[in-house]
């Protein structure tokens, strides 16, 4: 932002990654936003590059946030690095090495992935149970029965628990295969493939056609485009809905991170014992990126620095 281009305070906060304009408007009216140490409750208050803006005492600054929608082709790994893949998704976008994938898709799965450096938004979108809706089209082998569709709609029992109800419809049935559209909100590893497999319909091809408010219309495989302002705003609102669902959960004891070093874990457990906290079971070892499939965890990083924290996301 240049000195000649002051902007409304609500716009400043949104561009700083604080939240959607609606939520930033609410923060301002709540009286938790200050400009140069003075509380401002007028969302259209003008701020310039040398103003000090803070939310609840923590300074926020406008940084160059990017949001890129990519239609991942087959054979491309949806990670920032993968020694087993010929190409990774960040290489499809100019300057993509500074961005992080919001979730993952299996190497053989095609479709939409968002690349961004907005860690706050990325973490919100990737919650494993309250993710934004993601729509896939699957070519499955076999004849799709009403019973199979009903089972998928109600939720199926997988080895990691029962899935939430899904929106499912049969688009086309041929002699040996069928096209089925399915929309899920969760984000377990290879979830869509496992759901179809559980009802006797092995997936031959899979593509993610919609991600929240975004669709692949006009975006060819391997193509990308920068998201428009209204699309980013829609994603932020979707992320805030996810955050609202997460806030309803009862917070339990912390679970050890899979990547936590043994020495660090022992030290932390010793502190827990001294404090009277029960020991938590060790989390399973983290899988390498090449085997991560559609687990959705981006490279770990601190949300405040613009890099997403490790999290889950809608998977196929």
H-assigned helices in 185-228: 191-198
In a domain, 314, yes or no: no
Residues 76 and 206 in one domain: yes
Residue ending a domain, choose from 211, 239, 267 = 239
Residue ending a domain, choose from 210, 239, 268 = 239
In a domain, 249, yes or no: no
In a domain, 306, yes or no: no
In a domain, 234, yes or no: yes
Residue ending a domain, choose from 239, 267, 286 = 239
Please list, in sequence order, all residues whose beta carbon lies within 8 angstroms of the beta carbon of residue 269, skipping any fewer than 6 positions away. Answer: 279
CA neighbours closer than 13 Å in the CB half-sphere of residue 295: 15
pLDDT at 166: 95
pLDDT at 201: 97
The total number of structural domains that make up the chain: 2
pLDDT at 18: 85
pLDDT at 124: 84
Residues 47 and 104 in one domain: no
Please list, in sequence order, all residues whose beta carbon lies within 8 angstroms of the beta carbon of residue 275, skipping any fewer than 6 positions away. Answer: none
Q: How many angstroms separate the CA atoms of 98 and 96, rounded? A: 5
pLDDT along the chain (316 residues), means of 10: 72 84 92 96 92 94 90 92 85 91 92 91 83 94 96 94 95 97 91 96 97 94 95 90 77 41 46 42 34 38 40 49
In a domain, 216, yes or no: yes
Residues 73 and 135 in one domain: yes
Residues 81 and 221 in one domain: yes
51 neighbors 9 (Cβ within 8 angstroms): no
pLDDT at 157: 95
In a domain, 267, yes or no: no
Quick count: other Cβ atoms within 10 Å of Cβ 7? Answer: 16
Residues 89 and 218 in one domain: yes
Q: How many angstroms separate the CA atoms of 271 and 285, rounded? A: 22
Residues 76 and 132 in one domain: yes
Our separate counts of H helices and E strands in the chain read 7, 19
pLDDT at 261: 43
Return the active site residues.
106
Domain region containing 15: 7-60
Residues 122 and 189 in one domain: yes
């Amino acid at each position: 932002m240049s000195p000649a281009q002051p902007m409304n305070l609500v716009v400043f906060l949104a561009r700083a990654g604080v939240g959607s304009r609606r939520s930033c408007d609410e923060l301002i009216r709540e009286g938790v936003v200050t400009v140069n140490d003075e509380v401002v409750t007028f969302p259209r208050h003008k701020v310039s590059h040398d103003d000090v803006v803070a939310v609840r005492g923590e300074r926020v600054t406008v940084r160059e946030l990017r949001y890129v929608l990519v239609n991942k082709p087959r054979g491309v790994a949806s990670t920032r690095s993968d020694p087993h893949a010929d190409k990774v998704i960040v290489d499809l976008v100019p300057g993509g090495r500074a961005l992080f994938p919001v979730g993952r898709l299996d190497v053989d799965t095609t479709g939409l992935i968002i690349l961004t450096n907005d860690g706050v938004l990325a973490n919100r979108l990737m919650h494993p149970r309250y993710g934004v809706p993601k729509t896939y089209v699957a070519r499955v082998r076999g004849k799709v029965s009403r019973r199979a569709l009903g089972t998928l709609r109600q939720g199926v029992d997988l080895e990691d628990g029962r899935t939430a109800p899904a929106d499912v419809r049969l688009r086309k049935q041929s002699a040996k295969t069928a096209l089925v559209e399915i929309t899920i909100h969760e984000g377990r590893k290879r979830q869509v493939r496992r759901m179809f497999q559980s009802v006797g319909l092995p997936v031959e091809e899979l593509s993610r056609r919609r991600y929240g408010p975004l669709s692949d219309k006009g975006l060819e495989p391997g193509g990308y485009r920068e998201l428009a302002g209204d699309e980013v705003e829609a994603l932020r609102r979707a992320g805030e809905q996810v955050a609202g669902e997460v806030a309803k959960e009862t917070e339990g004891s912390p679970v050890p991170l899979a990547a936590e070093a043994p020495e660090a874990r022992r030290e932390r457990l010793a502190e827990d014992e001294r404090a009277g906290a029960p020991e938590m079971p060790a989390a399973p070892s983290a899988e390498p990126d090449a085997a991560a499939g559609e687990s959705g965890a981006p490279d770990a990083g601190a949300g405040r620095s613009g890099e997403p924290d490790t999290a889950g996301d809608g998977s196929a």
